[in-house]
């Protein structure tokens, strides 16, 4: 456990270096890093602890940190086909993608050929003889589909646009659930200054 490890580290430092100042600085860092790790906080090294002590702004990668890290379909907004068909096409096109958003689409709607994944944009595939593009607005521009903004749902998650044979078919909102203790964690960090 941590106390045993700390005692061994202290013994090593006392034997190898009897100067109190040289002993106290590393010991403080060891204790801080060890204490943080026992609470699930990983700090790469003592220089990062020093930087953390003077930080006045914290930026989180929210996926998996403040959220559950499990995406799910939060809304389907068709414009060319019905909701079921839009979700069905999006799920089929994203079927072979390894992206977490693709996994959410596959789960929502568990004969694709000619699949091509375009990094940072999305996936294009043939589904029952129709060319279906699923991805970002940049992909929609690339395939010539006149996409529309997702009104009122932009803050709910990631918007995935769908085009069929170059015509805009609608969009699907993929959302992640916020962890129950995320708000309290942010309040606590803010209270600490």
Active site residue 61: yes
Which positions ≥6 away from 164 have C-beta within 8 Å? 80, 81, 89, 130, 131, 132
Catalytic residue among 61, 111, 114, 155: 61
Which positions ≥6 away from 188 have C-beta within 8 Å? none
CA triple 165-114-137, angle to 5 deg: 45
DSSP letter at 30? H
Half-sphere exposure of 52 (CA within 13 A, CB side): 15
Phi first, then psi, for residue 106 (nearest 5°) are -60, -40
Neighbours of 71 (CB within 10 A): 23
The conformational region for residue 94 under phi > 0 = left, psi -120 to 50 = alpha, else beta, is: alpha
Q: Is the dihedral of CA 100, 118, 130, 156 positive or negative?
A: positive
Active site residues: 61
């Amino acid at each position: 456990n941590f106390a045993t490890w700390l005692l061994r580290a202290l013994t090593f430092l006392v034997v190898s270096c009897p100067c109190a100042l040289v002993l106290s600085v590393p010991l403080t860092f060891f204790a801080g890093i060890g204490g943080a790790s026992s609470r699930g906080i990983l700090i790469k090294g003592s220089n990062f602890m020093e930087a953390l002590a003077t930080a006045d702004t914290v930026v989180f990668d929210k996926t998996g940190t403040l959220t559950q890290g499990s995406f799910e379909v939060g809304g389907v907004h068709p414009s060319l086909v019905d909701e079921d068909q839009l979700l069905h096409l999006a799920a089929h096109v994203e079927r072979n993608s390894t992206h977490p958003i693709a996994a959410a689409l596959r789960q929502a709607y568990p004969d694709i050929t000619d699949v091509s994944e375009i990094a940072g944009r999305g996936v294009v595939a043939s589904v029952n003889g129709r060319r279906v593009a699923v991805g970002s607005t940049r992909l929609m521009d690339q395939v010539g589909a006149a996409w529309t903004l997702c009104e009122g749902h932009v803050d709910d998650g990631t918007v995935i646009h769908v085009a069929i044979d170059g015509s805009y078919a609608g969009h699907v909102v993929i959302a992640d659930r916020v962890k129950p203790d995320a708000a309290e964690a942010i309040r606590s960090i803010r209270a600490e200054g």
